[in-house]
Every structure is written in C-alpha cells, then in structure tokens.
Amino acid sequence: MADSINASLQNPVDRYPKPPFNKQPQQVPGLASKMDPRPDHGEKSYKGSGRLSGRKALITGGDSGIGRAAAIAYAREGADVVINYLPQEQSDADEVIALIQAEGKNGYAIAGDITSETFCQQLVEEAVQKLGGLDILVNNAGHQQAVDSLLDLTSEGFDATIKTNIYAPFWITKAALPHLAAGSVIISTSSVQAYDPSENLFDYAQTKAANVAFVKSLAKQLGPKGIRVNGVAPGPVWTPLQVSGGQPQEAITKFGGATPLGRPGQPAELASIFVQLADAEASFATGQIYGAAGGNGHP
C-alpha cells in the first residue's frame, strides 16, 4: 500500500522548470507559443470529471496563461467556453479553441480590446448569444509593464493598466449581470502584488488591490441574489505577460527562483482553483481570495 501511495506522489519542487531561463523579449501582448520553455496550460495533463457539465463560461485573456488553463479545464469539466483575446494573439487563441472542441464542447473566440467600453458590452452580448446564456464570468485579462521609476511611467501607460485591469472588469461585469441567474459565479484574477507590491509595478499593483476590493464588495452585494464572487491571487507564473514587459529581462532569467519552491508556477497549476470556484459544490465560498504563489503571498 505504501509503495502505491508513494508512486502517485509528485514533488512540487521538481515538477516544472526552474531558473535560470533565457532572456526572451516579446512585444506586448506576447505569445505562449514563442516562450522557452513553453508554458503548461494543462493541454495534456488536465483530466476532467464533469464538474461543470452544462455550464457556460466567458473568460477574458483566455488565449494564453492562466485564462487558457481555465478554458481548457472548464471544457474538460463539461462547460462551453467563450474566450476573449487581442487580435495579435490569434494563433494562441486558435490552439485553445481546437482543444475545447476536441472535448466535444462548444468553443468560441472573440477578439477585441477590452479597454473599450463599447467592445466590452458587445463581448458580453455576443458571448451570451453564442453560448445561449452565461453563468461563469472570469475577469482574467491583465496589463502589466515594469517601470523602474515613477518618473518614467507615462499617463498613457498608467491609463492602459487602469483601463485593462479595473475599467474592463467593471464594464464586463455590469454588462453580464442581467444574464447571471442565481448559482452563477464571477471570478477575478488578482495577484500577490495586491498584498506585497514590487517597486517597479507601481500601477499594476494598485489595480490588483482594486481587484481584491472588487471581489469582496461585489460578493456582499450579490450574495443575497445567489451569485458568488471570488478571486485568485497568483504569484510568479510563467506566462507571456511576464516576458512581454511585465518583468525586466534580467528578472526573467531568475523568474520564480525566490519562491520556497524555487521556480515559477505554471498556468496548469492554477486550473483546479478556477474549477473549484466555479463548481456549485463550493457554494459557501464567496468574497474569498485564493492564493497560489509557491509559498509566498498573503491570501
């Protein structure tokens, strides 16, 4: 018995690549397909068990990173999924839709810029039309650019971060609410930056703290309506967000090495959290922030 148990154990320290990594600058927003090593979104590893059968999900930033991992997991748990992404990320998005459809589920890709209020409204309406409803909303897309000095942070750069990370979830959630019945869920991707901000992520860290407040306030407002609202606060996760300016290239070479596990997380390692928060079995979890930071972080 002991041998069979030990054979199923995986040491999290050695499960995925550790630094040093190669410098690999990409233009915003970056592609997972060009990263070295390629991130694991659960393409081969995630096994579903029907936990979200019949559900209908909209995921922003679903072409790569954490959003892609959630999209794959949701489809393998039985949900139909719409992902949103930027047009520059088309090749990554095509891969995700193919994976969703391979599970026999409906997968739709809607390209567009969520810093536009008009597009956010259109995104929700089109998603509802394609899915025949909506009961899972994942506000995941984010903008992150490291800037060493406040003096170098432009108003345009600050505005892009605020609009992507704060305005877009507000616009999208507001548009989605009329379609969300009791039992629906809203999940927001925050960050450890909300609790322990880095000196070079001045604007991003503020938005991630705002995401935490968004979750906790909205959970209180929507709880009586039977709609749960939760968040996830990742630590360093190996995604295009990081290599396309989210971290300086000098930091990419040692990315994740300061965690107790000695490596960055992979998007696949967060997929089960997004499934758990969407699952009706987690019906008493609302207003919560779930951490996944390799041993660091506060939630």
Catalytic, 46? Answer no
CA nearest to 144, candidates 239, 63, 67: 239
Active-site entry in 16, 74, 204, 290: 204
Residue with tokens 């992520």: 201
Catalytic residue numbers, as ranges: 204
